[in-house]
């Protein structure tokens, strides 16, 4: 009611209330000092100083902003502010008393008693307002239909934040009734009156005993294995858990308090937050014209989003597919209209003349080359298109960037370029070699490549495929029970690309730390469990056999390569073999002829000649028993330096 009143009315009421409390505290101090019977000799002193002490306190409290607080949210810091303001007012009153009023025989204990009573009365009234509101809110929530009994896993800071949120926010239809935590020292403790009743292993019993309707995971520091164990226990209860973002994520704008969500497969990967050198990336991108190829794809669109965080002058979004380009341009225009010049360009990187024209018109300073054909089985069936797009398209972009005076070109590569068993991987390796050759020929332009593995949720990746299969009731198809892949989230991969670009030197190939490889069948089982189902009972897992060009294991460095540390914990420099640029240029006409002839075997033979580690054996060679393949299994994993 008071909140809807004009400000001068609110201030008048609050000031009057405080003056009344100051009066009661001062008179009460005299009463306590003299056992509730103030001698007549002290009554004139009380009468002559009560107005002074009330005025001093009123002025100090106003200066300290004590009339602007919202009492329904009062906390410990607010009470400490009351203590500080009261202490300052008491010191000023003592000084005035001694210097101007010469009341040297004033009862000194009154100063202390008045200080204590003021803190108790003012603080008590404010706390009472909050307690009354919370009590009424709890009573109202208790009478509402649909209020769900909540169990929180993890009795830490994030849990405490959630408990406070549920206390003050009536829109959250939850009533926390129990907490569980694996730390035995917390057993029996309470946070905001909610008890810690057991550990994660006790979930089934706790859910039954407390009639739990919802489970929330509030353990942002949990490892992948810990989170998997928690979700498995939750599945035994029949309740799909939700997860709360860490307080740090909320403050950084990546989540909202109370924005509970279901546990995602990204959570089970246990990827740590990326640490970025914001200043270095800002110096790299801020105020420049940045061009992103493949801007409508999963990686390209996220690169556009991340680049915009660092305020480029212009962002050129180059894409051959109309609809994805329309989507990313509309998204960014809604967010950055007026701050960044956004230019969508429909163009195919295989069209050399068109690419030269675009680069000549806009003269980008930074080029982030994400356009590529990436699907291994499709490229096995269409090797000519893989060469045209991944090799010749990269050549067009690199040459146009150099001729237009670009400062930097970053090519997005893949772990499949290492000891390649596929056409896709081999063409990406050739693109790496071409970019390195351009670095030597054009020293004024920085050319680098960045390798990483699979990204979660990208177009055509395993995650959306598994999700679709689960929604249809299965089966979930996995090629091989031992198939392993490295995984990153799309934002993590793109942020590290920008970080490597900002720190790199021309000609380098950067390798991103992909963490531990994940078995695809384990990923499938995790996704089935997250859907509230049981693998091999509700959803069948079927092994379909490896497809052409696939490996069981991916690598991030070749056998004859080594990787060196950088000053970033997740970025390494690959010491890779090189190939003469002039040799590559001489091979371009041959590739063009082979593409026009549409001879897949001849194209693969030509790729094999340029990239000897390509594990390809022509059918006639197989018939002769020849073994021209490289490391076909690709099972040797190059570990990162300790």
CATH of 278-464+487-518+553-582, one of 3.40.50.720, 3.40.50.1370, 3.30.70.260, 3.40.50.620: 3.40.50.720
Question: Dihedral of CA 408/412/418/424: which sign?
Answer: negative
CA-closest candidate to residue 125, choices 24, 4, 57, 8:
24
CA distance 98 to 108: 11
Of 416, 428, 551, 608, which is the active-site residue?
416
Cβ atoms 305, 340 nearer than 8 A: no
Cβ atoms 370, 342 nearer than 8 A: no
State yes or no: pLDDT of 636 exceeds 60.
no
Tens digit of pLDDT for each residue in 496-525? Answer: 888 888 877 777 788 877 667 778 888 888
User: Residue ranges of the domains in the chain?
Assistant: 2-140, 146-263, 278-464+487-518+553-582
CA distance 442 to 439: 5
Q: What angle do CA 21, 27, 33 make, to 5 degrees?
A: 130
Q: Which residue has the tokens 């330096």?
A: 641
Pairing of strands 366-369, 190-191: unpaired
In this predicted structure, what is the pLDDT of residue 538? Answer: 84
Top mean-pLDDT range of 88-102, 175-189, 209-223, 613-627: 175-189
Helices and strands (H, E) in the chain, number of each type? 23, 22
Question: Dihedral of CA 324/329/330/335: which sign?
Answer: positive
Both tokens of 203, joined, read: 């979930």
In this predicted structure, what is the pLDDT of residue 526? Answer: 81
CA distance 151 to 373: 47
In this predicted structure, what is the pLDDT of residue 438? Answer: 92
Both tokens of 498, joined, read: 């920008």
Let me know if the fold of 146-263 is the same as that of 278-464+487-518+553-582: yes
Which pLDDT band, with edges at 50, 70 and 90, does 251 fall under?
A: very low
Pairing of strands 454-456, 487-489: parallel
Pairing of strands 341-346, 408-414: unpaired
CATH of 146-263, one of 3.40.50.720, 1.20.1250.20, 1.10.287.310, 3.30.360.10: 3.40.50.720
Cβ atoms 470, 528 nearer than 8 A: yes
Residue 475, preceding peptide bond in cis (omega within 30° of 0): yes
Active-site annotation holds for 416:
yes
Tens digit of pLDDT for each residue in 412-467? Answer: 998 888 888 899 999 999 999 999 899 889 989 999 888 877 776 666 667 778 88
């Amino acid at each position: 009611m008071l909140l809807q009143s004009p400000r001068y009315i609110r201030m008048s009421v609050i000031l009057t209330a405080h003056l009344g409390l100051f009066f009661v505290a001062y008179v009460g101090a005299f009463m306590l000092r003299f056992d509730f019977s103030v001698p007549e000799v002290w009554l004139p002193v009380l009468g002559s100083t009560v107005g002074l002490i009330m005025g001093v306190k009123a002025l100090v409290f106003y200066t300290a902003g004590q009339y602007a607080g919202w009492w329904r949210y009062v906390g410990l810091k607010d009470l400490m502010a009351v203590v500080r303001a009261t202490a300052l007012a008491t010191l000023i009153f003592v000084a005035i008393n001694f210097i101007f009023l010469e009341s040297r025989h004033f009862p000194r204990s009154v100063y202390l008693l008045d200080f204590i009573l003021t803190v108790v009365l003012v603080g008590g009234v404010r706390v009472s307002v909050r307690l009354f509101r919370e009590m009424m809110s709890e009573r109202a929530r208790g009478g509402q239909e649909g209020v769900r009994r909540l169990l929180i896993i993890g009795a830490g800071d994030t849990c405490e934040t959630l408990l406070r949120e549920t206390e003050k926010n009536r829109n959250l239809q939850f009533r926390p009734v129990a907490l569980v935590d694996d730390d035995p020292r917390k057993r029996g403790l309470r946070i905001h009156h909610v008890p810690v009743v057991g550990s994660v292993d006790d979930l089934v019993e706790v859910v039954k005993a407390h009639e739990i309707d919802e489970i929330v995971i509030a353990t942002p520091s949990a490892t992948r294995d810990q989170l998997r164990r928690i979700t498995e226990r939750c599945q035994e209860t029949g309740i799909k858990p939700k997860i709360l973002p860490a307080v740090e994520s909320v403050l950084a704008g990546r989540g909202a308090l109370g924005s509970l969500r279901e546990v995602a497969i990204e959570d089970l990967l246990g990827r740590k937050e990326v640490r970025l050198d914001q200043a270095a990336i800002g110096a790299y991108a801020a105020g420049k014209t940045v061009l992103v190829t493949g801007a409508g794809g999963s990686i390209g669109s996220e690169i556009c989003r991340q680049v915009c965080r660092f305020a480029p002058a212009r962002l050129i979004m180059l894409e051959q597919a109309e609809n994805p380009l329309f989507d990313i341009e509309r998204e960014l225009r809604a967010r950055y209209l007026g701050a960044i010049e956004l230019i969508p360009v429909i163009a195919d990187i295989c069209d050399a003349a068109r690419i030269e024209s675009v680069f000549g018109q806009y003269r980008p300073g930074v080029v982030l080359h994400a356009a590529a054909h990436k699907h291994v089985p499709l490229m096995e069936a269409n090797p000519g298109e893989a060469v045209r797009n991944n090799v010749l398209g990269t050549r067009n972009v690199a040459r146009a960037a150099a001729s237009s005076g670009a400062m930097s070109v970053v090519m997005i590569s893949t772990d499949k370029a290492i000891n390649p068993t596929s056409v896709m991987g081999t063409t990406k390796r050739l693109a790496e070699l071409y970019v390195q050759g351009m670095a030597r020929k054009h020293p004024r332009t920085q050319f680098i490549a960045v390798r990483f593995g699979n990204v979660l949720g990208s177009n055509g990746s395993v995650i959306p495929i598994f999700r679709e299969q689960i929604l249809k009731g299965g089966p979930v198809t996995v090629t091989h029970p031992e198939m392993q892949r490295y995984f990153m989230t799309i934002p993590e991969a793109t942020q590290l690309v920008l970080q490597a670009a900002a720190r790199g030197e021309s000609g380098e190939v950067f390798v991103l730390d992909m963490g531990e490889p994940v078995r695809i069948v384990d990923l499938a089982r995790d996704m089935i469990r997250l859907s509230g189902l049981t693998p091999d009972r509700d959803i069948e897992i079927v092994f379909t056999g490896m497809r052409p060009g696939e490996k069981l294991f991916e690598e991030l460095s070749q056998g004859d390569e080594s990787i060196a540390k950088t000053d970033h914990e997740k970025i390494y420099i690959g010491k890779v073999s090189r190939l003469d640029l002039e040799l590559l240029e001489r091979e371009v006409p041959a590739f063009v002829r082979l593409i026009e002839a549409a001879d897949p075997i001849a194209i693969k033979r030509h790729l094999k000649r340029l990239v000897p580690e390509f594990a390809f054996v022509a059918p006639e060679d197989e018939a002769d028993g020849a073994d021209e393949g490289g490391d076909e299994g690709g099972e040797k994993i190059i570990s990162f330096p300790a």
